[in-house]
Amino acid sequence: MGAEVVVKRKFWPQKRRWKVLLIIGIVLIVLMASLLLGGYLFLRKSLPVIEGEINLTEITKEVEVTRDKNGVPHILAENSYDLYFAQGFVTAQDRIFQMDLSRRQASGELSEVIGASTLDQDKYFRTLGLRRAAVASYDGYSSEAKDVLQAYADGVNAYIKDAKKNNTLPVEFTFAGYEPTEWTPIDSLTIGKYMAYDLGGHYKGQAFRYYMAQHFSDEKVLELFPTYPEDGATVLQALRENELDITKSIATVQFPNEFNGSNNWVVSGDKTESGLPILADDPHLGLATPSIWYETHIESPDVNVSGVIFAGVPGIILGRNENIAWGVTNVGPDVQDLYIEKRNPDNPKQFEYMGKWEDATVVKEPIKVKDGKTVPYEVQITRHGPIISEFTHDDKEDTALSLRWTALDPSTELEAVMMFNKAKDWEEFKKALTYFHTPAQNFVFAANDGTIAYRANGLIPIRKKGDSSVPVPGWTDEYEWEGYIPWDELPTIVNPEEGFISTANNKITPDDYPYHITNTWAQPYRQQRIRDVLNSKDKITVDDMLKLQFDQHNLQAEEFVPIFLKALEESKGELREIDKKVIELFENWDYVEDIEAAAPLVFHQWMTEFANVLFEDEIPNDVDELFEGKGQIVDQMIRDAVNGKEGIWLSEAGGLEEVTFQSFQRAVDFAVERQGDKPSNWVWGDYHAVPFKHPLSAIKPLNYLFNFGGPTAMGGSGVTVAAAGFNRDTGLVTHGAAWRSVVDFANLSETYNVVGPGQSGHVLSDFYQDQVEEWTTGKYHKTYTDKSHYEKDGYTLILKPAK
């Protein structure tokens, strides 16, 4: 046997071990605290300077900027240049990262700072050419408007220069790894063109119906048209003769939210307690951090106006001055047409027109890509517009689709905005509207002389043939535009006997109106609810208006729940015990979508599943995304079935009772999966909540920094006046009225407003998400134009000319 080796282990004494562990713990705590402190200080140094003085070489006179307790800047200047310079500077202080992303997205320049992941998106926006349209628009502006654009750009650039010099750019730029470039007047106009895109036309619906014509019978296709075309069979045959694979191109586009719209209404003094008009407006767009809207008050010797504007654009687009107030909703007209173009097989840059080959205009659009090579890209533009059917693939087809769209033409919306801001009465405001071309908007108006008015304003094309429901042949002149609806024949109302005017993206024209506007209007529920409430009162107060903007009564449910419950009674399907409990919920529901209610959770999924049962096995998911007006069409299918006119889709799916039963059980299972098997414990607000997501919160762990509060419960839905559209899978509210405003002419120096989630884009600002609670509970702050009010609890910054 060998010698035994004994290894003795030597241990530190117990006390010493604890000492070392204690020291290590303290060191780790100190390091962690240092990291947190360092991170905090790094974030803090980029906070906007909102008090004291800043010396700037560009301005000529002192400008006073007072941010009130809600972060609204009140800018007081002695001349126009300094006013708009200060507006650009101050907006950049709060929103420069948002502004930079906005101009890059609209220009197709995201890949330059993000990388190849946004290349398809950039190709799409380069193809559309919003920036090209902005460039083409610039020369149409007056010298005064150009001066405003330049002053604003100078202010933005002064901020960028100062922030770069002092290393105080917002932290988002550090995370993204780039710095903003110089701002130009074209950037502001491009952002304006993007808003026309966001509120654009209906070409995705045309693409959907084009696909359907290639794959389904006449009867099934025509039932999915918003209105039945007079020459339906002829239209479909023409589409089938010119086949293009939509799924390879347009079906991959990320379209704007179909429900981008708004509510607005104005009540005359005859129906108000004060005897003076009251106006309310709440535009519905995407909800995010920061808000799409930036509230501002600007004042100089020739203008005093307060309201909101898109960050990156000068002036005030929605608001009021000392004499008038105005608000908008989206008309949603057919201002986009897809043309089927025949390409020359021997020359892919030529397209047929009237029996001859025409050269397309070819625009080179090289796309810079972060950490990659510049991608060469060309856009072909026919007489109708850019070829949009190939931006995601390289196949050279004999047939292509081009897009004709009013927003791609030169236009002068900012000229109109400048005139709105100074208008004193309806005649001056109406004159300003002649410069507002796109997107077409429903304007409501009130003045301190008691006038209330409405106008559907913008360029709406008149077509030789067709109604924009499907793509049309581009090789003939039969389907060309013949101009626009004459300006003096656009729908207009002044001082109606009814005493109020309201719009909610609803049908705005009588059946005998001589011009085509669109076949696709919003579902009527918001407009009907507004009218019901305004008609129910003899004398209306400001409080009535505020409550109406946050009204959560669901008229769609009020219409269809009784129909569905009756269909369940007549169905041959076997109800489960949990189904019976859910039916009791519906029988006791008052149709108000309060955050504590249970029924909305099932109702909205019921409507979704009803459509799924009809279409999911036959229409591919990517094509279904193009299905414009699906809600209205399914609603009408149900009404028709109740009236004994059951259509082919419903009939082939088993009939009203069977589809109602299947979709009901699916909806109940959906609710069980998310909130358990006790319907009495289901809560709408636990599912339906608004996150106000920051663009960088999609990158973990940055979500903990930029969206630290988590989603907040929100009542209502996409069909209530308190609009809150949501993702059907997650329940997250992503769409609604980030800006709500009520103007009472009994006191024009103050207005009732809310901007969700807040004014600032800086995560450490007191104004970052300080209005979330107001926004989700129907509360408001007052914005004053009287200095004695807004400076009380405000923060004043003086912009001084540098010596």
Q: Are strands 324-330 and 712-713 parallel, antiparallel or unpaired?
A: unpaired
Q: Are strands 63-67 and 361-364 parallel, antiparallel or unpaired?
A: unpaired
Give kind and range of the element (H or E) at residue 550.
none
66 by DSSP, 3-state: which? strand
CA distances from 489 to 276, 515, 521, 667 (A): 29, 9, 20, 47
Rounded to whole angstroms, the Cα distance separating 271 from 267 reads 7
Answer whether 197's CB lies under 8 Å from 232's CB.
no
Answer whether 404's CB lies under 8 Å from 384's CB.
yes
Is 594 assigned to a binding site?
Answer: no
Q: Are strands 52-56 and 795-801 parallel, antiparallel or unpaired?
A: parallel
Return all residues near 92 (Cβ < 8 A) that are at least 6 apart.
99, 155, 156, 159, 160, 183
CA distances from 351 to 67, 380, 381, 445, 463 (A): 56, 10, 10, 46, 21
Rounded to whole angstroms, the Cα distance separating 90 from 312 reads 11
Long-range interactions of 629-636: CB distance < 8 A, separation 24+? 629/205, 629/226, 629/258, 629/520, 631/523, 631/607, 632/226, 632/520, 632/521, 632/522, 632/523, 633/223, 633/224, 633/226, 634/607, 634/610, 635/523, 635/556, 635/560
CA distances from 2 to 9, 575, 715, 758 (A): 22, 83, 83, 81
Among residues 199, 196, 202, the alpha carbon closest in space to that of 518 is found at 202
Q: What is the CA radius of gyration of the chain?
A: 29
- Please report where in the chains the tokens 């989206």 appear, as a residue: 330
Rounded to whole angstroms, the Cα distance separating 646 from 624 reads 22
Can the peptide bond before residue 496 be classed as cis, meaning omega within 30 degrees of 0?
Answer: no
Burial 379-415 (b: 16+ CB within 10 A, else e): bbbbbbbbbbbbbbeeeebebbbbbbbbbbeebbbbb
- Please report where in the chains the tokens 């407006």 appear, as a residue: 281
Tokens representing residue 321 in the block: 């001055």
CA distances from 245 to 215, 239, 251, 384, 712 (A): 11, 12, 9, 20, 42
Packing angle of the helix pair 413-422, 185-198 (nearest 10 deg): 90
Rounded to whole angstroms, the Cα distance separating 525 from 631 reads 12
Rounded to whole angstroms, the Cα distance separating 198 from 738 reads 15
Is 337 assigned to a binding site?
Answer: yes
565 by DSSP, 3-state: which? helix
* Identity of residue 363: V
Rounded to whole angstroms, the Cα distance separating 83 from 81 reads 5
Which residues are tagged catalytic?
262
Could you count the other beta carbons within 10 Å of the beta carbon of residue 305?
21
Give kind and range of the element (H or E) at residue 659.
helix 656-675
Rounded to whole angstroms, the Cα distance separating 398 from 754 reads 52
Provide the strand spans (E) within 697-749: 712-713, 724-726, 733-736, 739-744
Angle at 796 between CA 738 and CA 58, to 5 degrees: 95
CA dihedral angle for residue 225, residue 717, residue 662, residue 559, rounded to 10 degrees = -70
801 by DSSP, 3-state: which? strand
Q: Which residues are annotated as a binding site for Ca(2+)?
A: 334, 337
The annotation places the binding site at 334, 337
